[in-house]
Amino acid sequence: MGLDSSMLEDLKEEVLHANLMLVEEGLVRLTWGNVSGIDRDKGLFVIKPSGVAYENLTADSMVVLDLEGEVVEGKMRPSSDTPTHRILYREFEEIGGVTHTHSVNATMFSQAGCELPCQGTTHADHFYGTVPVVRELDEAEVAEDYETNTGLAIVECFREKEINPVEMPACFQKFHAPFTWGKNAIDSVKNSVALEVCAQMALGTWQLNADQGGLPRHILDKHYLRKHGAGAYYGQS
């Protein structure tokens, strides 16, 4: 393509670090997860290679692709979930990183096909409302292009339910596992950590009080908007 993808060295390092965070945060077993990050100016994204153990990953092993799915740089095959990441970057133009894991608690929600309503302020700090379930793919979609159609199903869900992907950077793919995204690769991993913890907290909450009706809207608004709203005041400027 004639593009100098060597200029993406910083992004490769960031995506490497983000993938290693999956192990550090206990979100993956074996090679069950992947993180990518995109350079919007260049129209290129970086993702981990398929099936490579995390301890063997290096910045040089990361794979660089364009938004058509063509490999620009890299000697190994990219993650098998690359088409899903590509669709999310193409359709959710505000995002800069994508994470996919099979973390235990969030994957239980995915397999059960259960959405995650906001149960408390920890959830509200990261997700503005109920984390949705994306429908399972039909037989034709799986046979045609499983990973691409997974991405398209996520986009379909968010558009049909009029969910803002910036305000809700997560979903449960039914029978599969969770996907999260964020402003960059590291941020997408942090949202994956938050989703896993919130899923675990919700399961414990319902065990203690099956009638817990969810966080009142005014508290949800306060906690989400104080971190993410126009007048946000959490953290340092």
In a domain, 234, yes or no: no
Identify which of 12, 11, 33, 6 has the alpha carbon closest to the alpha carbon of residue 21: 33
Determine, yes or no, domain membership for 187. Answer: yes
Q: Are 63 and 56 in contact (CB under 8 A)?
A: no
pTM over 0.85: yes
Active site residues: 125, 234
Amino acid occupying residue 211: D
Question: Is there a domain that residue 26 lies in?
Answer: yes
CATH code, 222: 3.40.225.10
The tens digit of pLDDT for each residue in 112-156 reads 999 999 999 999 999 999 999 999 999 999 999 999 999 999 999
pLDDT given at position 213 = 87
The rounded mean pLDDT for the chain is: 93
Question: pLDDT of 47-89, one tens digit each?
Answer: 999 989 899 999 999 999 999 999 999 889 999 999 999 999 9
φ, ψ dihedrals at 173, nearest 5°: -80, 115
Q: What are phi and psi of 45, to 5 degrees?
A: -130, 160
Q: Does some domain include residue 199? A: yes
| Residue 90, in any domain of the structure | yes
- Whether 28 has a pLDDT exceeding 80, the answer reads yes
Structure-block tokens of residue 198: 């919130």
Tokens of 148: 């691409």
- % of the chain beyond a pLDDT of 90: 83
Half-sphere exposure of 207 (CA within 13 A, CB side): 6
What's the pLDDT at 27? 94
Q: Which of 94, 87, 78 is nearest to 145 (CA)?
A: 87
Domains: count for the chain: 1
Which of 199, 203, 205 has its CA nearest to residue 102? 199
Task: For residues 189 and 179, give the distance between their C-alpha atoms in angstroms, rounded to a whole number.
Answer: 10
First to last CA, the chain: 40
Say if 128 falls within a structural domain: yes
Q: How confident is the model at residue 1 (pLDDT cuts 50, 70, 90)?
A: very low
pLDDT at 157: 98
For residue 117, the enclosing domain spans: 5-228
Q: Is residue 179 situated within a structural domain?
A: yes
pLDDT at 36: 97
Residue 237 falls within a domain, yes or no?
no
